[in-house]
Amino acid sequence: MQPTRRARLQAVIQEELSLLIKRELKDPRVPSLTITAVELSHDAGQATVFITILGSGGDAPANEIRECLTGLASASGFLRRQLGQVVNTRWIPVLTFKEDKGFANVMRIHELLKKISDTT
C-alpha cells in the first residue's frame, strides 16, 4: 500500500473509531479515552490503535488501563464491523489496542531534566 494512502486510511480509522467508542460502546470497563495514533501494517491487515485515558495525565493506574484494554479487545469485533460500514475498503484491518506511553515518558524526562537543573 502506498504511504499516502496508508496515512489517509490511518487518519480515517482514528477519527471513526473515536466516534464509535464515544457513541456506540457501552462497556463500563472503557472510560473516556483518546485515540492518539493508529498504525497500519504494510498490507493494511493489522491496525494497532494507541490510546490514552482522559484525565489521567499519562498516569492512569495499571489496573484501569488493563481493564480498558480488555474491554476494547472484547469489543474489537463490534468496532471492526461498525468501521466496515463507514470505511470503504475491501478489507477492514484487525484491531489491536495498546497504551500510548508517550505523554508519560515526556513527563518523566521533564522531571529528570528539572532535577538535573536544580542540582547544578
Q: 85 vs 13, 82, 89, 90, 120, CA distance in Å? A: 12, 5, 10, 11, 58
Residue 102 — pLDDT band, cuts 50, 70, 90? confident
Summarised one tens digit per residue, pLDDT across range 38-87 is: 999 999 999 999 999 887 655 668 889 999 999 999 999 999 999 999 99
Burial group, residue 53, by CB count within 10 angstroms (0-12, 13-18, 19+)? buried
Say how many C-beta atoms besides its own lie within 10 A of residue 88's C-beta: 7
109-118: long-range contacts at Cβ-Cβ below 8 A with a sequence spacing of 24 or more?
none
Q: Please write the tens of the pLDDT for every residue from 16-42.
A: 999 999 999 999 999 999 999 999 999
